[in-house]
Structure 1
């Protein structure tokens, strides 16, 4: 779809709300075209601050789209999803152990595009809002695939921590119409063909209580949390409830089924926030369903791979290589 055609089309996404006698007024747009990219290096051009969806009562949902300048044809694309315990972070932030922009640059160097997408935090909206947002992001990227020079048949998803949880869900629910969500562009599928999950939660029912280091959440950071709201990220994600049914409904292990895309799961054996047992649970469910997967355990690695910084180049290379392999042309 051309940018001009999309500009006209997105105004028809909402039903006509004009009244008899009203002048013709275009509907409020539900997303914006990607615009013109900025060349940031010999390797990358970036569409910044792209509004991929609007929702009444919430901030516009944004993404940055990093395109490989040396691509010779439609490029595969990887959606990057940030962590932050469903409470913090945004699309521009990588874990503190990662070099700035390293994920986006490395994907572009390998000839893969990357879209880094924001999503609503847990106090903005409870689950499944976060999954709905990312599905809207995937549909948007397919809507504008021709303009962006990406291949809509070769999409993957990569996330860390809370983002690992969300990309696992994205990979496992591609065919679930009940989790489609109504935001943003419609008419395109929201599934992906490969998933890389860095130390994500796979079962909210089985996650142990967060061992919060002193000072991690100072009062100035928690001032906006409603009185009585539990600070456990999994409870906040489902609206402050400890109901096992709600927690299970927000857990990737609940959606594992045959036909899911291949997974690469990378997790440190010394993770003090999300224990390696969370990856073990997901790996076991994938194995039972006959889903292709690989687990890489990082010796001495804590959350964000603290303590294993000397292995980080190899970790990132493994993830990029996985996508290059799984998203290669048939």
Structure 2
């Protein structure tokens, strides 16, 4: 017997924008954390959550950093900014909250759960959730920076380029920029574009060689226009996973389109900032924070 419309409506879960917010934790002095807020409930998969880090006593509405974790689109956790920063005290997200930002660190569907563009759909839905709850949380979603590392940097760039009106800037740490040129930029023999098991192939659901149009669509460089927000691109010169040429290619595409980009190769750094002294990792973080601050201060002050 088919279910009645009333029963179907009763069984439907409430919209994520209407769910109660998580109870606040206080992981560091001056910082409030709402851990595990459901922002989207795709069918046939897990609810998607974000952690929202906030200053305990905000001075007015808060600019927003949307952070996207790495992990080759196959793994990773929204709970940390980068493996090199795992032991920082206070944690990087707490430091950003103390600097006067709201930080939304976001889950998204991994490649084992759904192929691209599910991941971009998810992070776009997170922006909509933040916008819908902005008044409740004292967020200024007109002042928003996307930021990510590796696979998360790829998504941060895509999000900034496909929703530019909502994004004030983008920080890219060693992210893939063009899935079609990546095989040719890797060391000889390191990457087979016909291999269906590479992280990039698993993301788009086919080997890069077999689905070049799909790979182009999933590449940030494809979506660059003159309307792109400002970008900061940091990429290690010794990156053995995502070659420096990917960062250079994204920067060149942005410059050619007339967009604002600051491309900074990081000498001696491998992927995940491996090989960098701790003080240089700190410098990458503070350079990125300064960029976020400079591109979110047009409409009001940010706390120190």
Q: TM class, shorter-chain normalised?
A: 0.7 to 0.9
Cα distance in 2, alignment partners of residues 211 and 26 from structure 1: 50
Give the equivalent residue in structure 2 for 1:235: 201
Question: Which runs of no fewer than 5 residues in structure 2 stay unpaired?
Answer: 188-193, 300-304
Q: Residues 208-247 of structure 1: matches in 2 within 5 Å?
A: 208=183, 230-242=196-208, 243-247=211-215
How do 1:1-330 residues align onto structure 2 when only pairs under 5 Å count? 19=4, 25=10, 27-31=12-16, 32-100=19-87, 102-174=91-163, 191-208=166-183, 230-242=196-208, 243-310=211-278, 311-330=280-299
Secondary structure, aligned partner of 1:154: strand
2:252 is paired with a residue whose SS is helix
Structure 1 runs of 4+ with >4 Å offset: 20-24, 209-212
CA distance in 2, matches of 1:244, 1:21: 46
Q: Distance in 2 between matches of 1:85 and 1:249?
A: 18
Deviation digits for residues 284-308 of structure 1, max 9, x if unmatched?
1100111111011111000011111
Look up the SS of the partner of 1:91 in the other structure: coil
Distance 1:22 1:259, change over 3 A: closer
3-state SS of 2:10 partner: coil
Q: CA contact under 8 A between 1:205 and 1:248: conserved in structure 2?
A: yes
Q: State the shift of 1:22 in Å.
A: 5.3
Give 3-state SS (helix, strand or coil) of 1:115's partner.
strand
Count of paired positions = 285
Tell me the SS of whatever aligns to 2:122: helix
State the Cα deviation string for residues 198-243 of structure 1 (Å, max 9, x = none). Answer: 000000001128989xxxxxxxxxxxxxxx9822111111113331
Q: Is the 8 A contact 2:25 2:33 kept in 1?
A: yes
Whether the 8 Å CA contact 1:82–1:162 is kept in 2: the answer is yes
SS at match of 2:248: helix
TM-score by length of 2: 0.88
Query: 2 CA distance for matches of 1:35 and 1:58?
Result: 21
Aligned to 2:302: none
TM-score, structure 1 normalization: 0.81
Shift of 1:39: 2.2
Indicate the structure with greater helix content: 2
- C-alpha change, 1:23 and 1:106, in structure 2 (3 Å) is closer
Question: What secondary structure, in the 3-state scheme, does the structure 2 residue paired with 1:87 have?
Answer: coil
Equivalent pair of 2:144/2:169 in contact (CA under 8 Å): yes
Name stretches of at least 5 consecutive residues in structure 1 with no aligned partner.
1-16, 176-189, 213-227
SS in structure 1 of the partner of residue 36 of structure 2: strand
Distance 1:270 1:329, change over 3 A: same
Residues 19 and 154 of structure 1, relative CA distance in 2, 3 Å threshold: same
Distance 1:172 1:317 in 2: 24
CA contact (8 A) 1:203 1:248 kept: yes
- Contact residue 106 and residue 320 of structure 1 kept, 8 A: no
